[in-house]
């Protein structure tokens, strides 16, 4: 009975996170992002203040980055995620909700700037809050992230159905409801103490620097996809559409992203989802873009939806999932780790919003084709970067933990001195995938199936399927035999035949 009650609580907690994060995602599209129905309509700031649209965008970006910096600093000082969240965020959330809900926000240029700053601040604080809250329960990610996208799509449907002419009021209500959901979550978590993690000053060299190097691989692929996927947005197609069609494209993209995300999390075996998605979909997307100068309006609209779908999948979901996996594996403060990466991602996106429209304002088809050729070069460089990173990681040069004594200098044969190197040798000899090698390493460190599933953010059934494949490939029949196989492996992929004592299988 206790287990059932705990599961019900976790399910309810995950649903609350999905609703709050979905509402927050919608406020980003309505109140922060430049190409949206609010800022493309003179009704947003009123005819007298229409020239302040750029001011609004500037202060929204300032609020977003200021909040990210503050939250990262707090996480670094306290060694915990979501500390002092309400102190930092609740005030600006209330101010933004009141200004938009009352209609006073556009009474003067000063209030426009204040409302924009508080909206950007609110979005940043809540983004880190919801992702950090979800990082405490990584097993729910495969459910929460698709549900978050569906909630955001439903919010857009409600907006189109009844609030298209009441944009500011709808935005204020969204901020208020998301803030209320975060307060409810904090109230429910009041009795659930979160352990502190080693602060960066005490773990910078051993855990944070290797963690950030691994996150760089993810971030590199995400920003490259962010350069390519929303191309039609940068070309101004979204802003040229009527408000109803803008929202239709966003709704379709969010729903498609939810379905695609379920498939990715269920079928992908890659250790880093963002990198795998980038490798698979980017060449296809670039080929589709080459037809843009000659395509019909329907083709452009479909590609706009597809690019937005990839944006929601990678930026809002897989980037966080990969960051959670890296942070948990290395024992990092998630808000500090994820917030730093998210800051870099948002900074890059802000630069793209300024640079890409100018770059894509080509006057001829040949110029556009040249730009898309540059995209292909971006993809090739990204893949080269990933290959170099993987080669360094496989050779043990990326912060792998040394778990055994160093080999004697007098040894004439090449030896393996770390579990990671042993697993890499077994992987090469037995033809294991990267995900299977990762599972073998965790098994050597004493993890059982539930622990591996939680750490890698996959289901227990998926772990068991991988384990069966590993046993077949390695010619073993149990965990003990597998560990013994790895511990007697040399760097050439051969077993020395000596028996090895295996650790006990934890319950």
Cα–Cα distance, 130 to 138 (Å, whole number): 12
**Could you give the count of Cα atoms lying within 13 Å of 74 in the half-sphere of its Cβ?**
20
Alpha helices in 167-318, H assignment, sequence order: 167-188, 200-203, 209-228, 231-234, 237-240, 243-267, 273-289, 297-313
Contact 228, 378 (CB under 8 A): yes
Coil/strand/helix, residue 495: strand
Residue-by-residue DSSP string for 23-49: HHHHHHHHHT-SSSTTTTSTTTT-GGG
pLDDT at 125: 94
- How many Å apart are CA 95 and CA 122, to the nearest integer? 10
253 in Cβ contact with 232 (< 8 Å): no
CA distance 266 to 92: 38
Distances (CA, A) of 197 to 14, 188, 208, 348, 360: 23, 22, 12, 29, 45
Residue the block writes with tokens 């590609």:
303
Q: What is the pLDDT of residue 276?
A: 83
| CA dist., res. 433 & res. 416, Å (int) | 20
Q: What is the pLDDT of residue 150?
A: 93
Decide: 327 and 338 in contact? Cβ < 8 Å. Answer: yes
3-class secondary-structure state, position 418: coil
3-state DSSP assignment of residue 171: helix
Render each residue's pLDDT in the chain as its tens digit; 507 residues: 333 333 334 468 888 899 999 999 888 877 666 544 455 455 555 555 556 777 888 888 899 999 999 999 999 888 888 889 999 999 999 999 999 888 888 788 888 889 989 999 999 999 999 999 888 877 788 889 999 999 999 998 888 887 777 788 888 899 999 999 999 988 876 545 454 454 555 555 567 888 888 888 888 888 888 888 877 777 777 666 777 777 788 888 899 999 999 888 888 777 788 888 888 888 888 888 878 778 788 888 888 888 888 888 888 889 999 998 888 877 788 999 999 999 999 898 888 777 777 777 655 566 666 666 667 776 777 667 666 666 665 554 444 443 333 333 333 334 445 777 788 888 878 888 878 888 888 888 878 888 788 777 777 888 888 888 888 888 888 888 888 888 776 544 444 444 333 333 433
SS3 of residue 463 by DSSP: helix
On whether the CB atoms of residues 266 and 273 are closer than 8 A, the answer is: no
CB 289 within 8 A of CB 303: yes
Evaluate whether 361 touches 162 at the Cβ level (below 8 Å). Answer: no
Q: What is the dihedral of CA 442, 443, 444, 446, to 10 degrees?
A: 90
Spatial separation of the C-alpha atoms in residues 67 and 350, rounded to whole Å:
16
In angstroms, the Cα distances linking 310 to 34, 225, 250, 270, 481 are 18, 8, 12, 17, 42
Are 74 and 331 spatial neighbours (Cβ–Cβ below 8 Å)? no
For residue 57, give both structure tokens.
Answer: 């965008």
Contact 337, 323 (CB under 8 A): yes
Given a contact cutoff of 8 angstroms between Cβ atoms, the answer to whether 115 and 92 are in contact is: no
What pLDDT was estimated at residue 169?
86
CB 324, CB 138: distance < 8 Å: yes
């Amino acid at each position: 009975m206790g287990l059932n009650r705990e599961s019900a609580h976790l399910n309810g907690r995950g649903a609350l996170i999905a609703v709050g994060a979905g509402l927050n995602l919608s406020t980003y599209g309505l109140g922060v992002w430049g190409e949206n129905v609010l800022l493309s309509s003179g009704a947003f700031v009123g005819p007298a203040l229409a020239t302040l649209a750029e001011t609004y965008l500037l202060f929204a970006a300032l609020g977003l980055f200021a909040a990210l910096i503050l939250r990262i600093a707090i996480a670094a000082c306290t060694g915990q995620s979501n500390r002092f969240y309400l102190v930092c965020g609740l005030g600006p959330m209330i101010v933004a909700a009141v200004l938009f809900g009352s209609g006073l926000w556009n009474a003067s240029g000063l209030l426009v700037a204040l409302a924009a700053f508080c909206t950007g601040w609110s979005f940043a604080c809540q983004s880190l809050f919801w992702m950090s809250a979800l990082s405490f329960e990584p097993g729910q990610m495969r459910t929460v992230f698709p549900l978050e996208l569906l909630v955001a799509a439903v919010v857009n449907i409600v907006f189109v159905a009844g609030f298209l002419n009441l944009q500011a009021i709808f935005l204020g209500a969204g901020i208020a409801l998301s803030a209320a959901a975060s307060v409810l979550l904090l109230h429910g978590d009041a009795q659930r103490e979160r352990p502190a993690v080693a602060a960066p000053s005490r773990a910078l060299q051993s855990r944070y620097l290797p963690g950030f190097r691994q996150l760089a691989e993810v971030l590199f692929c995400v920003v490259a996809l962010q350069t390519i996927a929303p191309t039609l947005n940068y070309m101004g197609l979204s802003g040229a559409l009527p408000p109803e069609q803008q929202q239709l494209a966003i709704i379709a993209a969010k729903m498609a992203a939810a379905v695609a995300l379920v498939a990715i999390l269920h079928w992908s075996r890659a250790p880093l989802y963002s990198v795998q998605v980038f490798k698979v979909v980017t060449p296809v997307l670039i080929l589709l873009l080459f037809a843009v100068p000659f395509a019909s309006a329907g083709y452009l609209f479909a590609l706009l939806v597809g690019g937005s779908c990839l944006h929601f999948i990678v930026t809002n979901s897989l980037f966080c999932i990969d960051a959670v996996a890296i942070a948990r594996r290395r024992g990092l403060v998630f808000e500090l780790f994820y917030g730093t990466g998210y800051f870099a991602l948002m900074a890059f996106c802000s630069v793209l919003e300024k640079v890409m429209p100018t770059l894509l304002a080509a006057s001829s088809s040949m110029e556009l084709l040249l730009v898309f050729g540059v995209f292909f070069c971006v993809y090739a460089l990204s893949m080269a970067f990933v290959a170099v990173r993987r080669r360094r990681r496989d050779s043990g040069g990326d912060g792998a933990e040394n778990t055994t004594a160093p080999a004697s200098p007098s040894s004439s044969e090449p030896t393996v001195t770390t579990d990671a190197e042993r697993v890499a040798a077994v992987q090469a000899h037995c033809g294991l995938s990267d995900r299977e090698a990762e599972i073998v390493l965790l098994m050597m460190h004493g993890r059982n199936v539930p622990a591996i599933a939680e750490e890698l953010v996959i289901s227990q059934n998926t772990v068991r399927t991988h384990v069966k494949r590993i046993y077949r490939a390695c010619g073993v029949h149990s965990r003990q035999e597998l560990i013994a196989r790895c511990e007697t492996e040399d760097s050439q992929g051969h077993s020395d035949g000596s028996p090895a004592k295996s650790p006990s299988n934890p319950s």
